[in-house]
Amino acid sequence: MITLPAELRHALNTMMAGHREHDLARSAGELTARYRRPAHEPALRSITDVAAYAATRMPATYAAVTAALTQAAASVPDFRPATQLDVGGGTGAAIWAATAIWPSLRQLTLIERDPAVIAFGQGLAAAAAHPAVRHATWRKSAIRADLATPPADLITISYVLAEMPPDAQEAVVRWSAEHGTMVAIVEPGTPDGYARVLAARDHLIGLGRRIAAPCPHTGACPLPAGEWCHFSARLPRTALHRRLKAAELGFEDEKFSYVIATSTPANPPESRILRHPRTRKGLVTLTLCSEELLEENVSKRHGDAHRAARNAAWGDPWP
Ligand SMILES: C[S@@+](CC[C@H](N)C(=O)[O-])C[C@H]1O[C@@H](n2cnc3c(N)ncnc32)[C@H](O)[C@@H]1O
């Protein structure tokens, strides 16, 4: 379960107080519909939309980015970023996530075109324990082929590409690969999100970057047509979230696709678990991605490996 930092949770609650629940619920519904049919145009169209995004989507994008960056940190254990550029930063989910994983971050810059989104994100950031989040620079700007900012140790592009035309997606990925030591792209875990991630992965590999996560290799993706590589991050639902989304469960599973590349040496795992492990009496079956797609049976007689497989989860490295 990936939980928001306590001070972000409290700041979100405080900032929701200025909005009527009925209006937030309507905006949340409209946002869901817009994100299902991305149209390369702004999805957030009012202050209420921004608040509804922060209440219903930001915890999930925070969880997805946290899960993805955690895997990259495991592959590049010496990485100690000082600077982060967050492209299409929204209300700041990726700066909160990155600073929780790499407290070494000192200087954060977000590029965001929408002033209402920036104001909301800054309101949340003011409550952060990490000084870099409190003092982040929010640049009100459209994402262009040349982002005209200094290079950064970490560049995050989370849940943004769908709002841009394909040629602009390619341009921002290329610019990021040339200006960032590590580039993290996170998208919804849908066939379309995966397709955007796969295109970005090709550009990153074409520019000579190493893949830190999730792929253990830089060869072609071995998934057969019709399947899409995605992962799942579990997060608790707040009472407000349950009411806005008319949801019953006390948790939410955010599905996401991602690719994280680096210009420094990376040590990705031999393989990665691509589905929930299936457990039967004395036997765990893992679906693994290495250069190819594999099914591995780990039985009780494998001792420690069996114990590890029983504790392993979808998205984890293996062994
Ligand atoms: C779905 S939100 C994602 C926000 C944040 N990265 C996250 O993971 O929660 C996409 C954000 O990107 C911004 N955005 C989209 N296209 C943009 C562009 N061309 N230039 C600047 N900002 C853009 C939108 O205004 C919005 O705030």
Domain ranges in the chain are 6-262, 271-318
Q: What are the residues facing 252 on neighbouring strands?
A: 235
Q: Which CATH number fits domain 6-262: 2.40.10.10, 3.40.50.2300, 2.40.50.140, 3.40.50.150?
A: 3.40.50.150
Name the one residue in this structure whose structure tokens are 């989104």: 117
Sign for the pseudo-dihedral over CA of 116, 187, 139, 81: positive
What average pLDDT does the structure give for the chain?
A: 94
* Structure tokens, 120: 């909301």
Phi, then psi, of 167 in degrees rounded to 5: -70, -35
Work out which ligand 1 atom sits closest to the CA atom of 160.
10
Q: Ligand 1 pocket: which of 8, 58, 112, 156 to mutate (most atoms <8 Å of CB)? A: 112
- Average pLDDT of 21-43? 86
Residue 158 sits at φ, ψ, to 5 deg, of -120, 125
Residue 271 CB coordination number (10 Å): 22
271 has which bridge partners? 318
Asked if the model's pLDDT at residue 41 lies above 80, the reply is no
Please choose, from the candidates 292, 254, 87, the residue with its C-alpha nearest in 3D space to the C-alpha of residue 169: 87
- Greater model confidence, 281 or 152: 152
Cα–ligand 1 centroid distance for 310 (angstroms)? 38
**Cross-strand bridge partners of residue 112:** 140
How far is the centre of ligand 1, averaged over its atoms, from the C-alpha of 289 (Å)? 31
Residue nearest to atom 14 of ligand 1 (CA): 88
39: pLDDT strictly greater than 80 = no
C-beta separation of 195 from 54 below 8 A: no
- Binning the chain into helix, strand and coil, the percentages to the nearest 5 are 40, 25, 35
Q: What does the pLDDT read at residue 85?
A: 98
The mean per-residue pLDDT over the stretch 13-17 comes to 92
Q: Using one digit for the tens of pLDDT, what is the confidence trace for 205-253?
A: 999 999 999 999 999 999 999 999 999 999 999 888 898 888 889 999 9
pLDDT above 80 for 10: yes
Q: For residue 49, what are its two tokens?
A: 């939309």
Contact 233, 59 (CB under 8 A): no
Which residues does ligand 1 sit against, CB inside 6 Å?
A: 42, 44, 58, 61, 88-90, 93-94, 111-114, 117, 142-143, 158-160, 163-164
Q: What is the mean pLDDT of residues 133-161?
A: 93
* pLDDT above 90 for 62: yes
Instruction: Find the 128 Cα to ligand 1 centroid distance in Å.
Output: 21
Share of the chain above pLDDT 70, in %: 100
